[in-house]
A and B are shown apart, each in its own frame.
Chain A
C-alpha cells in the first residue's frame, strides 16, 4: 500500500521533472534539436565509411551516445547542483520521500530526456535518410540501457560533488566535449587516428558508442564493453548514493 503510493509519487515526480527539463530551452535544444542538426550536417558532408557501411547506420548510434552523454553528464549534474544550491532539494527533503529515491528519479527523468532525443534521431534517420532497422534490436536496447546507466551514475556523482550550478555546467561540458570527439561519438572510430583511438578507448563513452554501433550492424557485443559499463555503474552509482545521502 505505502510502496504503491511511493511508486505513484515517484512516477509523478519523474514526469514533472522531465517536463521541467523540456521547458528549459537550453537543455531541450542541446539534447533534442541539436543532435538532429548534427545528423543533417553529417548526412550531407560525411565521407563514405570503409567497408561500405551506410553513414546513417553509424551516425545514428553515434549521435544517440551524444544525446545520452549530454543528458547525463551535462544536464543531470547541473540540475542536481542547482537543486542543492537553491534549496529546492531541501524542500523536497522536508517530505517523507527518501532523498536517494528522489535523486534516482532525477536520473530517470534525464534518461527519459535521452530516450526522447534517441527516438527522434531514429525516426528522422528512418524517414529522411533511409536508416534500416537494427540488426539486433535486443543488443541495441541493452547497450543503450547500460550506457545510460553507466553515464547516468557518473552524472549523479558529478552532481554530488560539484557545489554550484555554474561549476557543474562548466565541468560537465569540459568533460563531455573532448570525450565526444575522442570516443567516436562525433567522428567514426574507423576514421580516427590510432593515437586518438587509444586515448578515446579509455573514456567511459567508448564502450557505449561501440556497443550501440555493434548492436545496430549485428556484430556481437563485446563482453569487455558490457562489463566496463556495469562496473562504472556500480562504482560511480554507489559512491554517488553514499555522498548524496549525507
Chain B
C-alpha cells in the first residue's frame, strides 16, 4: 500500500527552482532514504510533504491526505524531525516530552519514550545546555511522540557519535518492525545502505534514480553506495 505519493512536485524560491518536477512513492512499512548533495532539495521535499511549506505545483498525498488542506489532521498521524529547529532555551527535556505529548490525541507514554532514547538522565537539563547530539536525539524522539504511522527524519544522525548512531539505527529498525513508515534524509550513504529498503537519489530537485541500495550499487557498477551516488549523479571524479 502506498502511503506517500508525490507527483511532479515543483517549488521555487525567488524564481529559482529547488524542487523541479519530482515524483516518488513510498510504501507502507518501508524505510525510504532520500540522498543527495547539499541544496539538492531534500528538505524542501520533506517539508512540503509534511504540510510545513507551500509548494507551487504538483500533487502530494500522505496517508491519502493533502498536506496543504489537511495539515493538522495529517500531523496527528505523521511525525517530523526537522533539520533545523529549536526549543526554548530554558525548557527542560522532561518538560518538552510532556508538553509535546499533550498536543496529540493519542500520544505514546512520554516517560517510556524518553527512557528508550536514553534521555531520562537529561530530563532536568535545559535545551540550551544540551550538546548538539543530545538535541538531535531529543528531536528524533519528539518526532515519535504522537505515535505516528509515518515519520520524516531530516538528517537522523549527523551530530551523533558512532555509538549513538548505531543505537539510533537499531531504534529506527524497531520502528519498521512496528509497521511505521520511515522517510530518512541522509548524506551518509553508509546509513542508507544499512537501514533503507529503498533509496531515491535526488539532484537539482529531481529524482535521478531510485531502488534498493544493492540495485543502485549494481546499476552504477561500483562497490558501495557512496561511489554509486557519485557515479549516478555524474559527480564522480
Residues on B with beta carbons closer than 8 Å to the beta carbon of A24: 90
List the count of A-B residue pairs having beta carbons below 8 Å apart: 67
Query: Which of B33-41, B95-103, B201-209 participates in binding chain A?
Result: B95-103
- Asked whether, in the complex, the Cβ of B104 is within 8 Å of the Cβ of A93, the reply is no
Interface residues of B in 82-113 (CB under 8 A from A): 82, 84-88, 90-91, 95, 98-100, 102-105
Please count how many residues in chain B sit with their CB below 8 Å of the partner chain's CB atoms: 26
Cβ proximity bits B139-151 to A, threshold 8 Å, 1 near / 0 not: 1001000100000
Q: How far is the CA of A83 from the CA of B86 in the complex (A)?
A: 9
- Asked whether, in the complex, the Cβ of A97 is within 8 Å of the Cβ of B82, the reply is no
- Asked whether, in the complex, the Cβ of B102 is within 8 Å of the Cβ of A90, the reply is no
Given known pairs A16-B99, A96-B103, the reply for A88 and B88 (CB within 8 Å) is yes
Q: Main SS of the interface on chain A?
A: helix
Does B75 interact with chain A (Cβ within 8 Å)? yes
Does B172 interact with chain A (Cβ within 8 Å)? no
Q: How far is the CA of A90 from the CA of B80 in the complex (A)?
A: 11
Query: Which of A7-15, A36-44, A136-144, A212-220 participates in binding chain B?
Result: A7-15
Given known pairs A9-B102, A16-B91, the reply for A95 and B146 (CB within 8 Å) is yes
The distance from the CB of B113 to the nearest CB of chain A, in whole angstroms, is 15
Given known pairs A2-B105, A87-B82, A90-B82, the reply for A95 and B75 (CB within 8 Å) is yes
Does A193 interact with chain B (Cβ within 8 Å)? no
Taking a contact as CB atoms closer than 8 A, the residue among A9, A16, A87 that contacts B95 in the complex is: A16
Q: How far is the CA of A5 from the CA of B100 in the complex (A)?
A: 12
Interface centre among B98, B103, B104 (most CB of A within 10 A): B103
- Asked whether, in the complex, the Cβ of B103 is within 8 Å of the Cβ of A95, the reply is yes
- Asked whether, in the complex, the Cβ of B85 is within 8 Å of the Cβ of A5, the reply is no
Taking a contact as CB atoms closer than 8 A, the residue among B87, B98, B146 that contacts A12 in the complex is: B98
Does B166 interact with chain A (Cβ within 8 Å)? no
Taking a contact as CB atoms closer than 8 A, the residue among B73, B86, B100, B102 that contacts A88 in the complex is: B86
Does B50 interact with chain A (Cβ within 8 Å)? yes
- Asked whether, in the complex, the Cβ of B99 is within 8 Å of the Cβ of A87, the reply is no
Does A224 interact with chain B (Cβ within 8 Å)? no
Q: How far is the CA of A13 from the CA of B103 in the complex (A)?
A: 9
Q: How far is the CA of A24 from the CA of B128 in the complex (A)?
A: 13
- Asked whether, in the complex, the Cβ of A8 is within 8 Å of the Cβ of B102, the reply is yes
Q: How far is the CA of A8 from the CA of B102 in the complex (A)?
A: 7
Residues on A with beta carbons closer than 8 Å to the beta carbon of B146: 95-96
- Asked whether, in the complex, the Cβ of A95 is within 8 Å of the Cβ of B90, the reply is no
Interface residues of A (CB under 8 A from B): 1-2, 5, 8-9, 12-13, 16, 19-20, 23-24, 83, 86-88, 90-91, 93-98
> Besides A86-B86, A88-B85, A90-B85, 17 other CB < 8 A contacts?
A5-B102, A13-B103, A19-B95, A20-B90, A20-B91, A23-B90, A90-B82, A91-B82, A91-B142, A94-B75, A94-B80, A94-B82, A95-B75, A95-B146, A96-B72, A96-B104, A96-B105
- Asked whether, in the complex, the Cβ of A12 is within 8 Å of the Cβ of B102, the reply is yes
Cβ-closest 8 pairs across A and B: A9-B102, A91-B85, A12-B102, A23-B90, A94-B80, A96-B76, A95-B103, A96-B75
Cβ proximity bits B60-84 to A, threshold 8 Å, 1 near / 0 not: 0000000000001101100010101
Does B218 interact with chain A (Cβ within 8 Å)? no
The distance from the CB of A91 to the nearest CB of chain B, in whole angstroms, is 4
Residues on A with beta carbons closer than 8 Å to the beta carbon of B99: 12-13, 16
Residues on B with beta carbons closer than 8 Å to the beta carbon of A19: 95
Q: How far is the CA of A20 from the CA of B84 in the complex (A)?
A: 22
Given known pairs A94-B80, A96-B76, the reply for A9 and B86 (CB within 8 Å) is no
- Asked whether, in the complex, the Cβ of B90 is within 8 Å of the Cβ of A13, the reply is no
- Asked whether, in the complex, the Cβ of B85 is within 8 Å of the Cβ of A87, the reply is yes
Residues on A with beta carbons closer than 8 Å to the beta carbon of B103: 9, 13, 95-97
Interface centre among A23, A93, A98 (most CB of B within 10 A): A93
Does B52 interact with chain A (Cβ within 8 Å)? yes
Residues on A with beta carbons closer than 8 Å to the beta carbon of B73: 96
Residues on B with beta carbons closer than 8 Å to the beta carbon of A23: 90
Interface centre among A24, A83, A88, A96 (most CB of B within 10 A): A96
- Asked whether, in the complex, the Cβ of B75 is within 8 Å of the Cβ of A87, the reply is no
The distance from the CB of A175 to the nearest CB of chain B, in whole angstroms, is 24
Residues on B with beta carbons closer than 8 Å to the beta carbon of A1: 105
Residues on B with beta carbons closer than 8 Å to the beta carbon of A93: 52
Q: Which residue of A lies closest to B143 (CB)?
A: A94
